[in-house]
Each structure stands twice: as structure tokens, then as C-alpha cells.
């Protein structure tokens, strides 16, 4: 088989790349290890930056997003017995976020690719990358399940545990990482949200986040020890702890209900650079991971794909490699800004066991500054909704 771009991974990055390339008249084949049902049900991120929403709408896959997504024009920082709203409409006029589950983005993209006759293959086994080295006369190719796919370029969009990044020879990549000493216990509940906007809560018991996925489904997170197992937390214990952390302001009552899903997410940061080697280009979690506090993972993947699409369009139009050569540097500028913002939000709102009373007072002092200074609040707002 032959295509212009071989794409590994049918998550948001791989599917969006395939769709954007299709709109430019560039052929691609998407290979995914998991089943279609699995990737369409996999609950992950749910906060879309303004630029992500704009990209999906401009690409013609935003109809359901605009109809069912929940636009938000602020978030609440809750600590010390009081809530403080960060007003996007005042601090960053014209820019907001939209709550719309990652699995819904994936459903929309799969539907669009199949409607356009796109080649998306699920449950593909034993994917391997070949002839990636720069300067080879022959192009790269992929093998899988006894078949071979020749292509001009390979895009590795298969996440942190995928096969793309390990295919780069040892010594090429520089890796930067940090593991946090806690995790998030996330739950999906069949219950109406208790707030119209996201609530980020800092308490002495630990961090909690009240989010949502629809008018009838809520998403919650609790800071828990790093070695926590979901089975340690029966439903009654989860609701009791969420109430203890979220019902910390007068008049707020948390609505409880059926928990449909629960799982533990490790808190870690990771960057591998450069994000390219020869004819292989990494995008999304294959190249970088951020702690979810800043809601940046999916949005970074979309930003990577925008840059890569423009670079590939220029290459296939006239053979220009300037944008492809600069792909990694262009992406990493945003990646490291998001890394810093995610680290900042994480350290601002979580409790750390090794913090002494001095460190905790510093944390509260900075929260006071962010919620009382328009300049500091603007920094949070413009990073949260996404830089242009």
C-alpha cells in the first residue's frame, strides 16, 4: 500500500491530522491498536481552549460541539472558606473555554473521516516503523499484521506508551520529566452539576475539582496518594470526601448521585525533544505530557497538529522543508509554556506532604495575590483559555 502520510494512533491528534490533511488534498492512513468502540468511549480531557474550538469549527467538525458543548467564561478558585471567580470575559475579552469530552471529539472526527472515505484502521497489531533515518533515498514505511504501508512521512500520534517515540534511536532525544507525589482520583457521575462553572478547590485535606460533561453528567477529581487504587474508594467515601473539600463556602451544597466510572490518573510531566527524527514527527502525548491541572493535554495535541499540517502542506505543495525542519522548535515553545502553567496551577492548589507551615502560608499568599490582582488573574486567564 502507498499513502503520503502514515499516521499511528486514532486519538484526537491522529484523527484531526488526517482530517486536516484531507482538506488540503493530502492522503493518509490511520492505524490504531485499539477498537473503535474503545477509543470512542475512552474518557479523558474535557476542557477545550478557544483555539481548539476554532480549529474544529473551521475544519467542519464542530457542529455537535457548538450545539452540545458548554461554553464557560470563568472558573472559581475556592480556598480559605471563600470562592473567587476568575472572569474570562473581563480579563481576556472574546476568549473562553468549552466543556466537551475528548471522546466526543473523537466520535466527531471518526465520523468525518469515514464520511469522507478516509482510511482509518482499528485493532491493528504489531505496528513497526522502518527507514526513518534522514538522507535515505527510499521513503519510510510501516509494517503491521503482515502488511506494509509505504509513505513519505510518518506521524506518531500514539500517546506516551505508543511505538513511535521508542522507534527513535537511543541518544537522539533529550527527556525532561517530573513525577508528582500524588495522583487524581477521577469520577464520572450521572448527576447534574452543582455549579455552572469549574471549581478548583485548595483545602488542607487536599485538592478537589468540580467539572462537568453535560447538563446531566458531572466530572470530579480528588487529590489522593500516588499509590492509590480506585477500589480503595467506595462510592460513599468518594462523596463524603468531595463534600468535605467542596462544601467549604456558605450556601454551597454538592449534589450526589450514581457514579458511572472511576479511575486514578498519575500526576506527571514529560517532554521529549526534538519532536522529530528524520521522516518521523511526534504529536501530542507521544512527545509530551502535562499534569491535568491546567487542562492542556488535548489542547497541546491540537496545537501540534495545526503546526504539522501547515508544514506538510508546504512540503507536498512545492517540496519546501523549511516548516518541517522547524516543526519541533515551533511546537516546543508552546509546550514549555503549557508545562510551566500546568506546574504553576498544580503547585498553587495541591497540598504537599513535605511542605512545612511556612510553605503553606506562601501558597495561600500567592492565591490571595492571584484573586486580588487583575494582572495576576489575567496571567491565569490568558493561559487557561489558551494563548493565540
User: What are the tens digits of pLDDT across the range 337-374?
Assistant: 999 999 999 999 999 988 899 999 999 999 999 999 99
- What was the pLDDT predicted at 123? 97
Q: What is the DSSP string of 284-316?
A: GGGTEE--GGG--HHHHHHHHHHHHHHHHHHHH
CB 13 within 8 A of CB 289: no
Condensed to tens digits (0 to 9), the pLDDT of residues 167-178 reads: 999 999 999 999
- Please tell me the distance from the alpha carbon of residue 108 to that of residue 243, in angstroms, as a whole number: 35
What span, in angstroms and rounded, lies between the C-alpha atoms of 146 and 164?
18
- Gap between the Cα atoms of 363 and 344, Å rounded: 11
Phi, psi (5° rounding) for residue 317?
-75, -45
pLDDT at 81: 94
Supply the pLDDT for residue 354. 87
Return the percentage of the chain with pLDDT > 70, whole number.
99
CA atoms lying within 13 Å on the CB side of residue 303: 26
Is residue 98 over pLDDT 90?
Answer: yes
Strands (E), the chain: 5-8, 28-31, 47-48, 70-72, 74-79, 82-87, 97-99, 119-121, 128-130, 141-144, 147-150, 153-156, 174-190, 199-203, 206-214, 217-225, 258-273, 276-277, 280-282, 288-289
Q: How far is residue 368 from each of residues 87, 124, 339, measured CA to CA in Å?
A: 16, 51, 23
DSSP secondary structure letter of residue 20: H
Question: What pLDDT is stored for residue 190 in this prediction?
Answer: 96
Distance between CA atoms of 253 and 261, rounded to whole angstroms? 22
Amino acid 44: pLDDT: 79
Contact (Cβ atoms closer than 8 angstroms) between residue 7 and residue 30: yes
Which residues, at least 6 apart from 365, have a Cβ–Cβ distance to it below 8 Å? none
- Decide if 95 contacts 385 (C-beta within 8 A): yes
Which residues have a catalytic role annotated? Answer: 72, 200, 292, 296, 384
Omega before 43 within 30 of 0, i.e. cis = no
Alpha helices in 24-138, H assignment, sequence order: 36-41, 50-58, 63-68, 88-91, 102-115
Q: Give per-residue pLDDT as tens, 257-301.
A: 999 999 999 999 999 999 999 999 999 999 999 999 999 999 999
Amino acid at each position: 500500500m502507498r499513502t503520503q502520510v502514515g499516521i499511528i494512533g486514532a486519538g484526537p491528534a491522529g484523527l484531526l491530522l488526517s482530517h486536516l490533511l484531507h482538506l488540503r488534498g493530502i492522503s493518509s492512513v490511520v492505524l490504531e491498536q485499539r477498537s473503535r468502540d474503545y477509543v470512542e468511549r475512552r474518557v479523558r480531557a474535557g476542557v477545550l481552549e478557544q483555539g481548539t474550538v476554532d480549529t474544529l469549527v473551521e475544519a467542519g467538525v464542530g457542529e455537535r460541539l457548538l450545539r452540545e458543548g458548554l461554553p464557560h467564561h470563568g472558573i472559581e478558585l475556592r480556598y480559605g472558606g471563600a470562592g473567587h471567580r476568575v472572569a474570562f470575559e473581563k480579563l481576556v475579552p472574546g476568549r473562553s473555554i468549552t466543556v466537551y469530552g475528548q471522546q466526543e471529539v473523537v466520535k466527531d472526527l471518526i465520523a468525518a473521516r469515514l464520511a469522507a472515505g478516509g482510511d482509518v484502521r482499528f485493532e491493528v497489531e504489531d505496528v513497526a516503523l522502518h527507514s526513518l533515518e534522514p538522507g535515505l533515498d527510499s521513503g519510510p514505511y510501516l509494517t503491521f499484521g503482515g502488511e506494509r504501508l509505504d509513505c513519505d512521512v510518518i506521524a506518531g500520534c500514539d500517546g506516551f506508551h505508543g511505538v513511535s517515540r521508542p522507534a527513535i534511536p537511543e541518544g537522539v532525544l533529550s527527556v525532561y520529566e517530573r513525577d508528582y507525589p500524588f495522583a487524581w482520583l477521577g469520577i464520572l457521575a450521572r448527576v447534574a452539576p452543582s455549579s455552572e462553572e469549574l471549581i478548583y478547590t485548595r483545602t488542607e485535606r487536599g485538592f478537589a475539582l468540580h467539572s462537568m460533561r453535560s447538563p446531566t453528567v458531572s466530572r470530579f477529581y480528588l487529590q489522593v496518594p500516588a499509590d492509590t487504587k480506585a477500589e480503595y474508594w467506595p462510592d460513599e467515601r468518594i462523596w463524603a470526601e468531595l463534600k468535605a473539600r467542596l462544601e467549604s463556602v456558605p450556601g454551597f451544597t454538592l449534589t450526589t448521585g450514581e457514579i458511572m466510572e472511576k479511575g486514578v490518573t498519575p500526576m506527571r510531566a514529560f517532554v521529549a525533544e526534538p519532536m522529530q527524527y528524520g521522516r518521523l514527527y511526534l504529536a501530542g502525548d507521544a512527545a509530551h505530557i502535562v499534569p491535568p491541572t491546567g487542562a492542556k493535554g488535548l489542547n497541546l495535541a491540537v496545537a501540534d497538529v495545526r503546526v504539522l499540517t501547515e508544514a506538510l502542506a508546504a512540503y507536498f505543495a512545492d517540496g519546501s522543508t523549511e516548516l518541517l525542519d522547524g516543526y519541533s522548535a515551533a511546537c516546543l515553545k508552546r509546550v514549555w509554556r503549557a508545562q510551566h502553567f500546568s506546574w504553576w496551577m498544580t503547585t498553587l492548589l495541591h497540598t504537599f506532604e513535605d511542605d512545612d507551615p511556612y510553605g503553606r502560608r506562601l501558597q495561600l499568599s500567592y492565591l490571595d495575590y492571584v484573586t486580588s490582582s487583575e494582572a495576576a488573574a489575567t496571567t491565569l486567564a490568558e493561559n487557561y483559555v489558551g494563548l493565540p
